[in-house]
Copies of this chain bind each other. A is one copy, B any other.
Amino acid sequence: MDANKVSVEPFQVMASLCTTTVIVGAVLPNGKPNFMAIAWCCPASHQPPSLLICSARRHLTNSAILANKAFSISIPSRALVEKLDFAGIKSGSATDKSTLFQTFECPLKGAPLLKECPVTIACSLSKHFEMEAHEIFVGKIEHVYANSSITTNGAVDALKMDPCLFSFSGPSYFQLGPKFAIPWSVGGGYNPASATTTTSASAARPFPHVDTSVCVGCGACAGSCVANPTLWTMDAEGHATFAVERVNDCVRCGHCVEGCPVSAISMKL
C-alpha cells in the first residue's frame, strides 16, 4: 500500500461524494403532497432522459411513489436551505408538510411541482430496484420547468441555480464553486506517454455528421446536445443540420449520436 494512504471505515467514504440535494415530491393516500429531502440523486440515463433517487425503506414517500407511479424532483437554491433541511428532518408520518412549499399544477398526476424551486421536474416511475435497506426509483423525465432567470439558451445554468451540495463531510451543505475546466476537452490533448498536455482537444477529435437519408427530423440531436443546442437546425427538407462552421462550439462528446433514435449521426473528422 502507498505510504501516504490510511485505511478508512467504509461509511466514512460517503463524505467524499458530494451530490446535489433535491426535494422529492409525492402525493400521499390522503391526497396531500409530501416533500422529502434527498441527497442521493443522480442522472440515470440519456435515453430516455431519466434521474434516480436512492431512498431508505422507512421513508413514507416510497410507498406513495409506488402507488402513483409518479413523483417530482425539485432543486432548491441555497436560499431555501432551511426549508430543505426541515423537509429532511421531519417525517411526513408525524408532520403535515403539505404546505411547506407552494405547488403548481402538473400535467402528470402524482408529481407536485414546486413554485419556489428554480428547477422542478415531473417524473414517471420507470424502474424500481430493491436493495437491503434502500430502494432505487428511476424516474423518466416527463416535464421540466425552470425559472427563466437561471436558464441560458434553453438550458439550466448550474451556477445561477445555486444548489445545496450535500456531503457527509462534516456533514455539510456546500456551495457550488467556480468552473475550472471543460469536460471532453481538457483531457483531449493529454499524452500518457510523455505525461504532458500537447494539443487542444478539439483540433484532433471527430465531430457529428448527419446521414440525411436516415434522419427523420425529430430534433433529438438538439435535445441531447450538452454544449450548444443551437448548433442544430432543420433544413428545408426537415433534416437535421449541424453548423459545421461553428464546430469549435461543439465539445464532441457524442451525446447526439446516442440521442438519435434512428442512428443517423456518426462522429467523423
Question: What residues of chain A have their CB less than 8 Å away from a CB belonging to chain B?
Answer: 1-2, 4-20, 22, 39-52, 54, 56, 75, 78, 81-89, 97, 99-100, 104-105, 115, 119-121, 126-127, 129, 131-134, 136, 138, 141-149, 151, 154-159, 161, 163-188, 190, 192, 197, 201, 205, 222-224, 226-227, 229, 251, 253, 255, 258-259
Contact = CB atoms under 8 A, between A and B. Distances in A.
Given A172-B179, A178-B175, A190-B83, A16 B48 contact: no
Given A11-B223, A169-B158, A41 B42 contact: yes
A111 to B, nearest CB: 13
A187 B7 contact: no
A144 B13 contact: yes
Chain A contact residues: helix, strand, loop or mixed: mixed
Contacts of A10: 48-49, 141-142, 144, 223
B18 A171 contact: no
- Kindly name the residue among A1, A56, A164 whose own CB sees the greatest number of chain B CB atoms within 10 A: A1
A142 to B, nearest CB: 8
A19 B19 contact: yes
B13 A141 contact: yes
Contacts of A149: 4
A56 B224 CA distance: 15
Contacts of A185: 85
A180 B81 contact: yes
Given A7-B144, A15-B155, 14 more contacts: A10-B142, A11-B259, A14-B49, A17-B75, A18-B163, A19-B43, A40-B42, A41-B42, A99-B192, A126-B131, A129-B129, A133-B258, A171-B253, A177-B178
Most B CB atoms within 10 A — which of A81, A147, A177? A177
A174 to B, nearest CB: 5
Please provide the 8 A-B residue pairs with the shortest distance between their CB atoms, ordered closest to farther.
A85-B187, A175-B177, A86-B187, A158-B169, A177-B177, A10-B49, A10-B141, A86-B190
